[in-house]
Structure 1
């Protein structure tokens, strides 16, 4: 009788353990099922970046986004560039050369936005494709159209087999350059005041909380890199998975602070 009780207790413990394992697998599967794909992640991140541009400047801002990556293809560079340009609805590419490499460029429009395709041959059977879209931001209607253009471009490149990565940036003049509080008048101290204003405005956007990971500064220019848990597209930098970079350049000629915001990192001049 005692043995039977012990056996029943052991069976109950085993069943409970199996249930716990099953629940954990269900949770993990659910997380995998809800994880956004590259197109959805880029759409979400573009909308967040657009909101940042609206938050830090009252003026229209310049927005640049890119899909870029390697493409394995047996086509010649000229043929490969032609295939991508045709798929994207761009004119026939023109041949050029950059640092001794053949580069094919096609310029046109996608959904009304200026678009530029570049294809570079890396090695036999391997090319590198980059599609750049530009827009002037400010109104919500422009964001919706840009998201559609981004989706069409991303889908087209992926369907052809390009292993694309995504990044984007906004640039604009935020506000008149401010003086630093306290006794010091150094350029770095003044830029710190600007960064504090930037971070405060961005942190007001729902679901966006910046966690500073890295920083660089000199007299006229400074940048900070952040971890943003809400952003699915990120890159590893040091010991952090960063997803946003802010840069401020003090333009002494016009007395304004020029702001650049990139995600996951800045890939444009600032």
Structure 2
């Protein structure tokens, strides 16, 4: 009887241990892995590589590229001193002043890491500045300029971040897609808008064919001259909120009535008026 009692107790302990292990495994399986947030400079480096690949996929011609770092800067320096610090770090000539919408802007232009670079610094209020660095480059069918461009982008981003600027990144490429499919005899509005939408769909197809790039439509706009669409892209780390989605890519197609060509602009995470 005693042996039977001990056996029952041992069995209960074993069953309890098995249940405990099973519960722990269930809890671990139900836990999502924590999201890994990339440093802004690292995230921009990853996104630049993808944008360059998109440019190679959608246009055979060399494509102009614009890369921007910008953000607010809480600084005890005067605007003149702050502009001097940034121009020195970027290897640009001393800043000059101009008036833009009633504000004094400290600007400088030159070459930084071999690329055309523009710096603008504006005082928002006492002790708060807004800095923007824009890099201009040209991509092509090879990847030869990409590593140099990555280094220039990294240098600019780290220069701002090291001084305390809360940096954000965006970029765009431009190019020519395909000749217009609408002739002068076609009905002007409906047919042309349909052709632009067709060009946009061709762009989507080419981009979606790249590794790990699955485009999910978020918002769109179209008229007789322009078609635009924004997308959520899980593989891209830099996003902005648009409605109830995080979007990372915007495509725009514009019909040039003079040349009859479809001009394309592709931005990450969005296109802005500066492009």
TM-score, length basis structure 1: 0.91
RMSD between aligned alpha carbons? 2.2
Superposed CA deviations along residues 60-102 of structure 1, whole A, max 9, x for unmatched, are 1110010000111011111111111111111111111111111
**Number of residues of Structure 1 aligned to a counterpart in Structure 2:** 265
2:190·2:224 contact (CA, 8 Å) conserved in 1?
no
Matched, 1:17 2:29: no
What is the aligned partner in structure 1 of residue 236 from structure 2? 231
1:264 to 246, 265, 269: 269
Q: Which runs of 5+ in 1 are unaligned?
A: none
What is the aligned partner in structure 2 of residue 155 from structure 1? 158
Distance 1:64 1:51 in 2: 15
- C-alpha distance 126-168 of structure 1, shift in aligned 2 (>3 A): same
Superposed CA deviations along residues 114-150 of structure 1, whole A, max 9, x for unmatched, are 0001111111111010000001111311111111100
Matched, 1:121 2:126: no
Deviation, 1:7, is: 4.5
1:200 to 200, 205, 228: 205
Distance 1:163 1:185 in 2: 45
Distance 1:146 1:268 in 2: 23
What is the aligned partner in structure 2 of residue 93 from structure 1? 95
Distance 2:125 2:76 in 1: 11
Distance 1:16 1:76 in 2: 62
Distance 1:178 1:112 in 2: 40
- C-alpha distance 142-77 of structure 1, shift in aligned 2 (>3 A): same
Deviation, 1:178, is: 2.0
TM-score, length basis structure 2: 0.89
Distance 1:202 1:177 in 2: 20
Distance 1:249 1:257 in 2: 6
Deviation, 1:105, is: 0.3
Q: Which runs of 5+ in 2 are unaligned?
A: none
